[in-house]
Amino acid sequence: MAEEWVGQTPSTVKDMVTPINQAEVLIALIVAAHAGVLAVRLCFSLYKA
């Protein structure tokens, strides 16, 4: 992957990386929210049992 950046300015590399990082953060937040919902449902069902 480093070979693709040869001859490019750091600003171009930064512009390429930033949207990927934002997408990864969004995906991580969605995954964390789903995990939280599952944890709450598990606790509630264990509480009822």
Instruction: Render pLDDT for 10-47 as a digit per residue (tens, 0 to 9).
Output: 565 555 566 778 889 999 999 999 999 999 999 999 99
The pLDDT of residue 14: 59
Identity (one letter) of the amino acid at 47? Y
Q: How high is the pLDDT of residue 21?
A: 85
Residue with tokens 């949207």: 19
Q: Where are the alpha helices (DSSP H) in 1-49?
A: 10-48
* pLDDT at residue 29, as a whole number: 96
Residue 2 has a pLDDT of: 52
The set of residues, in sequence order, having a beta carbon less than 8 Å from that of 13 and lying 6+ positions away, is 5
Helix, strand and coil content of the chain, in percent to the nearest 5, comes to 90, 0, 10
Please tell me the predicted confidence (pLDDT) of residue 49. 77
